[in-house]
Structure 1
Amino acid sequence: MTYATVMVSLALDQPNEARLQVAGELAERFEAALVGVAAAKFAPPLYFTDGAEAQRLIDQEDASVKRCLADLEAEFRAATKTRGGRAEWRCAMDFPTRFVLAQARCADIVVSGGRSPAFSDAFSLASPKDLVMQAGRPLLAVPDQINWLDLRSVLVAWKDTPEARRAVADALPMLRKARDVAIVEIPEEDDDRAAVMARVSDVASWLARHGVTATARVPEATGDETAAAQLERIAGDVGAGLIVAGAYGHSRFRELILGGVTQYLVTQTARCVLLSH
């Protein structure tokens, strides 16, 4: 398995430099095509007018959105002109999430920013929370502070779920290029530690058969530290430049509300995160 097409989602009113840099590096490493996508839509005002004045307002705002999209295309072209690979731009006057989700059909992996405000503007931003839960492709969330894709040390946050299994499989191309890979499961207080170690050891053995040398690690259970806090501490200990994890939602609201660890992974600012759902 490899990545043949990398898609990067650009956003209005947000920094795009980090995600463009990482997406470009990813495309170069795997000799993949790079597709840039962006969309935005005129947000109707909270007051009403009619006739010629209404049409003038609509035309004015549509023109503004088109200028913003043209600026994003120029930013994408400038970031890719020296990379030498295949680059393609796609944009539309549409709801960003809807447009990006549709375009994701042509990609192996989607790169997005890591910022995900609690109440994002559906007219101008494809939230990484929405993308990871609905795209059907792995999402690489890139914090604004990151300036390169650091694969020297990768942390796999394991949980014996379909989402985590998909995430590890989706991450295989990157794991094969990593120098050190650690597989960690945060045990619950009542977990049998031997059983937990057996699970992560199975994953390490599976990865070894795919050419990836990985170490299995199970920290001592602790009741005074959240799973997200433990994960952050371990990631710091191993110097992880990338975390690989499954993305989880909450019951019937799973498409809208992410679980605690997933929420942390989407919003942390120290390292890139590959998430699959």
Structure 2
Amino acid sequence: MTYATVMVSLALDQPNDARLQVAGELAERFEAAIVGIAAAQFASPLYFTDGVEAQRLIDQEETSVRRRLADLEAEFRAATKTRGGRAEWRSALDFPGRFVLAQSRCADILVSGGESPAFSDAFSLVSPKDLVMQAGRPLLVVPDRINWLDLRSVLVAWKDTPEARRAVADALPMLRKARDVVVVEIPEEGDDRSAAMVQVSDVAAWLARHGITATARVPEAGSEAAAVQLERIAGDVGAGLIVAGAYGHSRFRELILGGVTQHLVTQTARCVLLSH
């Protein structure tokens, strides 16, 4: 398994340097094509008018959106012009979530920025939680402060669930390039630690059969939240990448992520590969 096509989702009025850098590195490492993608939709004003004036405002706003999308294409072209392989650009006047999710059919892996806890605009950017829960592709979340894809140490956050199994399988190409891989399960109070150790040891053995040397680790159950414990272990092992299953459900058509998943799409310290 490898990545033949990397898709990077760009956003209007947001920093894109980090995700472009990491997506470009990923494409180079795996000799993959890279597809840049962005969409934005005209947001109707909060006041109303009609006739010629209304059409003038609509035309003006659509022209502005097209110009900003053209600026994103120029940014993508500049970031990829010195890299080998094929680069392709896709954009549309559309809701970003709808457009990017549809176009993700052509990619092996998606690259996105993290989610800001303070800003979300469905007219100009697609949320990483929408991508990971609906795209059917692994998502690499790149915080804005990251400037390279550090695969020297990778932490696999294990739970014995289909999502975690899928995430580890999706991450195999990256794990093969890692120097150190640690598989960790965070037990909850009352969990059988020895049973958890059997599970992560099984995962480490499975990785070994794929040519990947991994260490199994299960800390003592504590009172701290799982996200806090996971973050501390990631710091201890110097992880540049966390691999995890994404958990959540849809309630009244609004995606609600689990606590650890929500933390992983908003933290700013390291890249995260998520699969659902």
TM-score (norm 1): 0.98
Shift of 1:253: 6.1
Task: Provide the residue aligned with 2:124 in structure 1.
Answer: 124
Task: Provide the residue aligned with 2:71 in structure 1.
Answer: 71
Task: Provide the residue aligned with 1:38 in structure 2.
Answer: 38
Shift of 1:116: 3.5
**Alignment-mate amino acid for residue 218 of structure 2:** V
Task: Provide the residue aligned with 1:275 in structure 2.
Answer: 274
Check the 8 A contact 1:133/1:255 in 2, yes or no.
Answer: no
Mapped partners of 2:181, 2:56: distance in 1: 57
2:81 counterpart of 1:81: yes
Check the 8 A contact 1:132/1:275 in 2, yes or no.
Answer: yes
1:147–1:218 Cα change, 3 Å: same
Check the 8 A contact 1:18/1:144 in 2, yes or no.
Answer: yes
Matches for 1:97-116 after TM superposition, within 5 Å: 97-116=97-116
Task: Provide the residue aligned with 1:265 in structure 2.
Answer: 264
Mapped partners of 1:209, 1:255: distance in 2: 40
Structure 2: which 5+ runs fail to align? none
Task: Provide the residue aligned with 1:241 in structure 2.
Answer: 240
Shift of 1:84: 2.0
Mapped partners of 2:253, 2:240: distance in 1: 28
1:131–1:156 Cα change, 3 Å: same
2:174 counterpart of 1:174: yes
Mapped partners of 1:167, 1:253: distance in 2: 26
Number of equivalences: 276
Shift of 1:120: 1.4
Structure 1: which 5+ runs fail to align? none
Check the 8 A contact 1:116/1:127 in 2, yes or no.
Answer: no
Task: Provide the residue aligned with 1:52 in structure 2.
Answer: 52
Shift of 1:250: 4.1
**Alignment-mate amino acid for residue 241 of structure 1:** G
Secondary structure at the residue paired with 1:42?
coil
**Alignment-mate amino acid for residue 6 of structure 1:** V
**Alignment-mate amino acid for residue 26 of structure 2:** L
Check the 8 A contact 1:241/1:272 in 2, yes or no.
Answer: yes
Task: Provide the residue aligned with 2:15 in structure 1.
Answer: 15
Provide, for residues 136-181 of structure 1, a one-character-per-residue CA deviation record: whole Å limited to 9, x for no partner.
0000000000000000000000001100000000000000000000
Task: Provide the residue aligned with 2:219 in structure 1.
Answer: 219
Check the 8 A contact 1:138/1:170 in 2, yes or no.
Answer: yes
TM-score (norm 2): 0.98
Shift of 1:47: 1.1
Superposed structure 1 runs of 4+ greater than 3 Å apart: 116-119, 250-255
Mapped partners of 1:254, 1:271: distance in 2: 29
Task: Provide the residue aligned with 1:145 in structure 2.
Answer: 145
1:68–1:154 Cα change, 3 Å: same
Task: Provide the residue aligned with 1:230 in structure 2.
Answer: 229
Shift of 1:129: 1.0
Task: Provide the residue aligned with 1:204 in structure 2.
Answer: 204
Provide, for residues 35-74 of structure 1, a one-character-per-residue CA deviation record: whole Å limited to 9, x for no partner.
0000001000111100000000000000000000000000
CA-based RMSD = 1.1
**Alignment-mate amino acid for residue 176 of structure 2:** R
Task: Provide the residue aligned with 2:156 in structure 1.
Answer: 156
Mapped partners of 1:110, 1:140: distance in 2: 6
**Alignment-mate amino acid for residue 198 of structure 2:** A
Mapped partners of 1:174, 1:116: distance in 2: 26
Task: Provide the residue aligned with 1:189 in structure 2.
Answer: 189
Secondary structure at the residue paired with 2:255?
coil
Mapped partners of 1:118, 1:68: distance in 2: 22
**Alignment-mate amino acid for residue 46 of structure 1:** L
Check the 8 A contact 1:112/1:139 in 2, yes or no.
Answer: yes
How high is the sequence identity, in percent, across the aligned residues? 88
Mapped partners of 2:47, 2:252: distance in 1: 31
Secondary structure at the residue paired with 1:182?
strand
**Alignment-mate amino acid for residue 267 of structure 1:** T
